[in-house]
Structure 1
């Protein structure tokens, strides 16, 4: 890579990483800074490092495999863990270089979601519920993961629908991921 290309990669306005089987093979400086690590601490390490638990790391593994296996990008929003243990809400994008084995070699980008941007402000609990909603979990499953009652999860879901002025979870998730929902 030429010096100019290396600078462009390292200081791109979003975090970039190339992974092989969920192991970070290279990343840019923006990615390292976003998560509070030195690049040398990330390269060769499992992405597990950036998730809150083993369970979360394993649950999220298969979420985007279908579009990736069709040579399509996968996009979502997720909570990731920084070196200091704090969580960061990110827009995540992935594209595989090996559609027949989507996780064999994947290019990933991460952009922090700016809490000062336009739109409703979310509480940490609302972000947790949104993350689990995006993973297709039911209220009962979310309640179990979050240590809440299903009724509390339902209350958070209702608050989210009201904040975003949408009628259902499908429209809410579509709005957050930038997809359109066709009318039935």
Structure 2
């Protein structure tokens, strides 16, 4: 890349990373800053570093693989972990360079949705349920994925609504995505 291309890449308004088998091979300055690291600290590291738990890292692995196998981009919203342990909500997009083996080489982008970190602190279970709710899953579907009872998921949903002082999941998700309500 020439100097202008490098400048554009590093200063893009969203975090961009190239991964190979979930290992960070390249990233821009915005990506490193978003997660609280210097670029050299991220290169060669597993993406596990950016998730709250091993379980979360492993569960998210296969989400979106089908569109990637068809050479289509994949997009969702998710909660990620900053180096200092704080959480942030972002829009995630992925495009594979290797459709036959989607995770072999993939370009990812992360755009902040909610930059207000003064919101409630979430437990790992709440983060997990919120991730699935943001993908449109019902309590029964989430319970099946997480091998929990639907009642447990309903309890977590109720706790999320109380923490964020909202009346329903639609308002919760719109608040987290920065949509006026």
Q: Do these two structures clear the TM 0.5 threshold for a shared fold by scoring above it?
A: yes
Alignment gaps of 5+ in structure 1: 117-121, 167-171, 177-184
Aligned-CA RMSD value: 3.1
Distance 1:91 1:60 in 2: 14
Closer/same/farther in 2, CA of residues 92 and 150 from structure 1, 3 Å limit: closer
Q: What is the CA-CA distance between 1:90 and the residue it aligns to? A: 0.9
Q: Is the CA contact (8 Å cut-off) linking 1:16 and 1:31 kept in structure 2?
A: yes
Q: Is the CA contact (8 Å cut-off) linking 1:132 and 1:142 kept in structure 2?
A: no
Q: Is the CA contact (8 Å cut-off) linking 1:140 and 1:150 kept in structure 2?
A: no
Worse-matched range after superposition: 130-139 or 28-37: 130-139
Closer/same/farther in 2, CA of residues 19 and 163 from structure 1, 3 Å limit: closer
Describe the superposition over 1:8-59 as per-residue Cα deviations: whole angstroms up to 9, x where unpaired: 0000000000000000000000000000000000001110000111111111
- In the alignment, structure 1 residue 155 sits paired with structure 2 residue 158: yes
Distance 1:76 1:161 in 2: 23
Q: What is the CA-CA distance between 1:114 and the residue it aligns to? A: 2.6
Distance 1:11 1:82 in 2: 19
Distance 2:53 2:27 in 1: 22
Worse-matched range after superposition: 93-102 or 149-158: 149-158
Aligned length: 162
Q: What is the CA-CA distance between 1:163 and the residue it aligns to? A: 5.9
Q: Is the CA contact (8 Å cut-off) linking 1:67 and 1:73 kept in structure 2?
A: yes
Closer/same/farther in 2, CA of residues 40 and 74 from structure 1, 3 Å limit: same
Distance 1:95 1:87 in 2: 24
Distance 1:143 1:158 in 2: 22
Normalising by the residue count of structure 2, what TM-score does the alignment of the two structures yield? 0.76
State how 1:5-154 maps to structure 2 within 5 Å: 5-115=5-115, 123-125=120-122, 128-133=128-133, 134=135, 136=137, 137-139=141-143, 149-154=152-157
